[in-house]
C-alpha cells in the first residue's frame, strides 16, 4: 500500500500544481505514519489548504483522504511498523500503551470465552503428544508454550526440528495427538500449508493467532483469537504470553498428581545438574 501511494505520486507529480506538489512532498515524507495524521495536520505541515490535499488525492485517483488513510491503516493491520501519533516516551504514550494492553487482555479473558479456553486446555491435557509450531514472531510464543507445558505433561515438542521438514514431523502424529499452531500476523506462507498438512494427517489443531487468521479458523478444531494490536509502531505479545501462562496453569491444575510429580522431578534435575540459579 505504501508503494502504491508513492507510485501514484511519482507518476503524476509533473502534472500537479506547485501547491499540490508541496502537499505531495509532505505525503511522501510521512508515508510511514500517514494513518495517524489528519488532512488538517498534513496541510499545516505543508503550508497549504485542506482543499489542496483534497485536489491532490483526486488527481492521484483516490476518492478521498479517507481512502488514502485506509490504505495506510491496512499496512498497520498487516503488522507493518507505523509510528504512533503519541510519542512512546511521554506520559500520554505510557497511558495509551497500558490501555492497549488492558484492552487486549480483556478481549481474550472474557466470561464468554471461558468455555473455549477450558476446551483448549483439556485438549492439550488429553492429547497423547503435543506438536507446537510457529515461525517468525510466533516462534518465541510457541517456544515458551512448549517449555511451560513440558513441565506439566510429557510428549511436548517443537516442530519442525532443525534439518527436518514439517512433513516428516507429521508422520508420527495422528487423531489422538494435537498440533498447537501459533500464527500471528506476517506469517510465512508455509503456515497455511502446515494447517492443510495437519488436516491431511487427521491431526486436531489448536490455532492461536490474531484476527488476521480468522479465515483459517474454520479449518481447525480449536481456535483462540489473541489480539496483538496497539497504537504504537510494533505489535505487543504480552497478551499472547499471558494466554500461554493461563493454558499451562490449567494443564498443571487438571493434570493432578502426575503433573505435580513431573514438576517435582524437573526441580530435582535442576538442582542436581545446577543449570539454573535457584535463589
Residue 236 lies in a domain: yes
Q: Is 49 helix (H, G, I), strand (E, B) or coil?
A: coil
Q: Where are the alpha helices (DSSP H) in 32-113?
A: 39-46, 50-59, 65-77, 91-108
Q: Which of 46, 77, 108 is the last residue of a domain?
A: 77
150 with 251, same domain?
A: yes
174 with 68, same domain?
A: no
Q: Structural domain tally of the chain?
A: 2
Mean pLDDT, residues 126-150: 94
Residue 89 lies in a domain: no
120 with 255, same domain?
A: yes
151 with 234, same domain?
A: yes
Predicted structure pTM score: 0.69
Instruction: List Cβ neighbours of 231 (8 Å cut-off, separation of 6 or more).
Output: 84, 85, 86, 96, 97, 100
Residue 19 lies in a domain: yes
Beta-carbon-side half-sphere exposure of residue 96 (alpha carbons within 13 Å): 15
Output the domain CATH number for residue 121: 3.40.50.10490
Neighbours of 10 (CB within 10 A): 12
What the block records as the C-alpha cell of 73 is 491503516
164 with 129, same domain?
A: yes
156 with 45, same domain?
A: no
Confidence of residue 103 (pLDDT cuts 50, 70, 90): confident
- Confirm if 262 and 152 have CB atoms less than 8 A apart: yes
- Confirm if 9 and 24 have CB atoms less than 8 A apart: yes
Q: What is the pLDDT of residue 106?
A: 87
152 with 218, same domain?
A: yes
Mean pLDDT, residues 162-189: 86
- pLDDT tens readout for residues 40-91: 888 888 888 888 888 888 888 887 777 776 766 666 555 555 555 545 455 5
Residue 224 lies in a domain: yes
What the block records as the C-alpha cell of 265 is 522431578
Output the domain CATH number for residue 68: 1.10.10.10
User: Picking from 20-24, 70-74, 98-102, which range would have the lowest pLDDT averaged per residue?
Assistant: 70-74
- Comparing CA positions, the residue from 23, 220, 270, 260 lying closest to residue 116 is 220
What the block records as the C-alpha cell of 47 is 503550508
32 with 128, same domain?
A: no
105 with 14, same domain?
A: no
Confidence of residue 204 (pLDDT cuts 50, 70, 90): very high
Q: What is the DSSP string of 209-262?
A: E-GGGHHHHTTSSEEEE-----SSSS---HHHHHHHHHHHHHHHHHTHHHHHHH
Show the domain range for 58.
2-77
Confidence of residue 182 (pLDDT cuts 50, 70, 90): very high
72 with 108, same domain?
A: no
Instruction: List Cβ neighbours of 219 (8 Å cut-off, separation of 6 or more).
Output: 195, 196, 199, 205
- Confirm if 96 and 123 have CB atoms less than 8 A apart: no
70 with 171, same domain?
A: no
Residue 92 lies in a domain: no
- Comparing CA positions, the residue from 253, 256, 243 lying closest to residue 117 is 243
70 with 102, same domain?
A: no
Q: Which of 26, 47, 77 is the last residue of a domain?
A: 77
Amino acid at each position: 500500500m505504501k508503494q502504491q501511494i508513492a507510485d501514484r505520486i511519482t507518476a503524476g507529480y509533473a502534472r500537479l500544481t506547485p501547491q499540490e506538489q508541496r502537499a505531495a512532498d509532505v505525503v511522501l515524507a510521512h508515508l510511514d505514519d500517514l494513518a495517524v495524521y489528519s488532512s488538517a495536520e498534513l496541510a499545516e505541515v505543508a503550508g497549504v489548504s485542506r482543499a489542496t490535499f483534497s485536489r491532490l488525492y483526486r488527481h492521484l485517483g483516490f476518492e478521498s483522504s479517507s481512502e488514502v488513510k485506509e490504505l495506510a491503516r491496512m499496512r498497520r493491520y498487516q503488522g507493518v511498523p507505523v509510528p504512533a501519533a503519541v510519542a512512546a516516551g511521554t506520559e500520554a504514550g505510557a497511558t495509551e500503551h497500558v490501555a492497549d494492553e488492558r484492552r487486549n487482555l480483556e478481549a481474550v479473558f472474557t466470561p464468554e470465552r471461558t468455555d473455549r479456553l477450558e476446551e483448549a486446555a483439556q485438549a492439550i491435557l488429553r492429547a497423547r503428544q503435543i506438536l507446537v509450531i510457529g515461525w517468525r514472531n510466533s516462534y518465541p510464543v510457541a517456544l515458551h508454550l512448549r517449555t511451560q507445558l513440558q513441565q506439566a505433561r510429557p510428549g511436548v515438542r517443537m516442530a519442525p526440528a532443525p534439518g527436518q521438514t514439517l512433513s516428516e514431523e507429521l508422520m508420527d502424529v495422528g487423531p489422538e495427538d494435537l498440533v498447537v499452531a501459533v500464527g500471528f500476523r506476517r506469517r510465512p506462507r508455509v503456515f497455511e500449508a502446515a494447517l492443510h498438512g495437519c488436516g491431511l494427517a487427521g491431526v486436531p489443531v489448536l490455532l492461536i493467532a490474531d484476527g488476521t487468521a480468522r479465515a483459517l479458523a474454520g479449518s481447525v478444531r480449536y481456535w483462540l483469537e489473541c489480539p496483538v494490536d496497539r497504537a504504537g509502531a510494533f505489535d505487543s505479545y504480552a497478551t499472547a504470553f499471558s494466554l500461554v501462562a493461563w493454558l499451562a496453569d490449567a494443564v498443571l491444575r487438571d493434570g493432578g498428581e502426575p503433573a505435580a510429580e513431573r514438576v517435582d522431578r524437573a526441580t530435582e534435575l535442576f538442582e542436581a545438574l545446577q543449570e539454573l540459579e535457584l535463589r
